[in-house]
Each structure stands twice: as structure tokens, then as C-alpha cells.
Structure 1
Amino acid sequence: MALAKLGVVVLDCPDPGALARFYAEVLGGTVGREEDDWVELSVPGGQTLAFQRAAGHTPPRWPSEERSQQFHLDLDVPDLDAAEEGVLKLGATPLDAEDRSRSFRVYADPAGHPFCLCAC
């Protein structure tokens, strides 16, 4: 029997509202509870992402041993090229997207968190 149930996945960032809107455009969903230092995004399928203001936030580097990513999101997409075009328009930065033969591409969200677009 499980000891716990996954609740909210929380990403530290300098601007919770802006990052919630970025992921709302990428994943769909509704920005819900919004406080000064905390914003929640209800994602289709039931999971909630939250974004918490972190003073002095230093984004991870990918790849890096000194400032490892520590955590990243894998986002399944039916069309890598179309999804890439969309996330770049929303402000994502390519980190490792040059190899078009792979089934995934790596980007950073506007706060610097790595995420992957993965062909499904």
C-alpha cells in the first residue's frame, strides 16, 4: 500500500504568474488559486502544477554538474516540430534540440527550468 499520494508539483521561479501562464499555454488548463507568491495551474487529467516565488532564484543549467537540473518535466506531444514552434513562441529556450533523429528535444521554460518535448 502506498504511503502517500502525489499532490501538487511545485516549481520555484521569480514570477509565478508568468510561469503559470506559460505552462497554461503549453499544457492547457486553468490558472486557479493566485496569491502574491503562489499560483496554481489545474492541468487536464487532474494533476496540479504550482509556481512559487523564490527570491534570488537561480535557474539550473543543463547539462551541468555544478548546477544540475534536479528536476524536469517530460511533455508528450504528437508532433515535435509543431510543439517546438509553439513553445518557442511562448518564450522557451532550446537547450538541446538540434538532433532531429531523437524522439525528444530539451528546452528551458522562461524561468530556466529544463523540460523535454517527447514524441508520443
Structure 2
Amino acid sequence: MIGYITIGVRDIAKAKSFYAELLADLGASVLMEMDRIAFIGKSMDQPMLAVCVPYNEADPHPGNGNMFAINAGSKENVDAMYQKAISLGATCDGEPGQRIPDMFYGAYVLDADGNKMAFYVFG
């Protein structure tokens, strides 16, 4: 159902590099790019993440309560993706841990523009 999610960024080159490197271990890469937008994913027919300088060129504004989540596939991968995001310059918004007993394990970070993302696994 979801084709792609777009997040606003200030520096397209920096954001493209951050997300391409962060998601590479999941098989993602930059699939398409233009002047102010880049699409990152596994293929054009699967959900993608787009990083984009806003059309009006004003600063992006992450929404309070907005977040996108990446299924890491395992608790170990949640931990690894969290650590990788931090090493690439993200800030912690919730260390890896069990959130719902036996159901949801997750970690949360903010990118350089304040966009919130979760790495998670159910089960």
C-alpha cells in the first residue's frame, strides 16, 4: 500500500549519504535522484524512503508525533541499525529495548533534520 514516504531535509547530499549508508545492510540504495529529491529502497516497486529539500526551499519541519519505522528483522539488527545511525550522526530518542513484552522490540533516533525513525521487530 505505501509507495514511498518523503521526509524534508536541509542538505540533500548529506541526507542521501546518511540514509543510503544506513539502509545498505537491508539491501537498499539510491534508486532515483533529481536536484532536490532522492529515493532510497530495494526497488521501485517496493516501499521507498524519499529525502527532499522542500519545494519552497524553506527549512523542513518534522511533525510532532510523526515517525517512520524500519523493520530490522531481528533484535540484533535493531541494535546494529541503532548503533550505525548514531555513528552516522543521528541522536538517540530511545535506546534499543523491549517495549511490549514478547511483542515489540525497538529503538528510536532523530536524523540531523529532526526526523524521527524507529528500528523494530515484532515477536
TM superposition score normalised by structure 1 = 0.71
Q: Contact 2:8 / 2:62 at 8 angstroms: preserved in 1? A: no
Amino acid at match of 1:88: I
Partner of residue 21 from structure 1, selected from 17, 22, 25: 17
Q: Which runs of 4+ in 1 moved over 6 A?
A: none
User: Counterparts of 1:100 and 1:51 in 2: how far apart (Å)?
Assistant: 27
In terms of fraction of residues, the more helix-rich structure is 2
Percent identical:
21
Amino acid at match of 2:16: A
TM superposition score normalised by structure 2 = 0.70
- Structure 2 gaps, min length 5: 100-104
Superposed CA offset, 1:79-118 (max 9, x none)? 1332222111111110122x74432121112221111121
Q: Contact 2:8 / 2:61 at 8 angstroms: preserved in 1? A: no
Q: Contact 1:76 / 1:119 at 8 angstroms: preserved in 2? A: yes
User: Counterparts of 1:109 and 1:49 in 2: how far apart (Å)?
Assistant: 13
- Change beyond 3 A, Cα 1:82–1:57: same
- Change beyond 3 A, Cα 1:43–1:22: farther
User: What is the total number of aligned residue pairs between the two structures?
Assistant: 107
Report the counterpart of residue 46 of structure 1 in structure 2. Answer: 46
Q: Contact 1:41 / 1:49 at 8 angstroms: preserved in 2? A: yes
Partner of residue 5 from structure 2, selected from 6, 9, 30: 9
Partner of residue 56 from structure 1, selected from 59, 68, 72: 59
Partner of residue 94 from structure 1, selected from 92, 95, 110: 92
- Structure 1 gaps, min length 5: 61-67
SS in 1 for 2:14: helix
Q: What is the alpha-carbon root mean square deviation over aligned residues? A: 2.3
Amino acid at match of 2:112: P
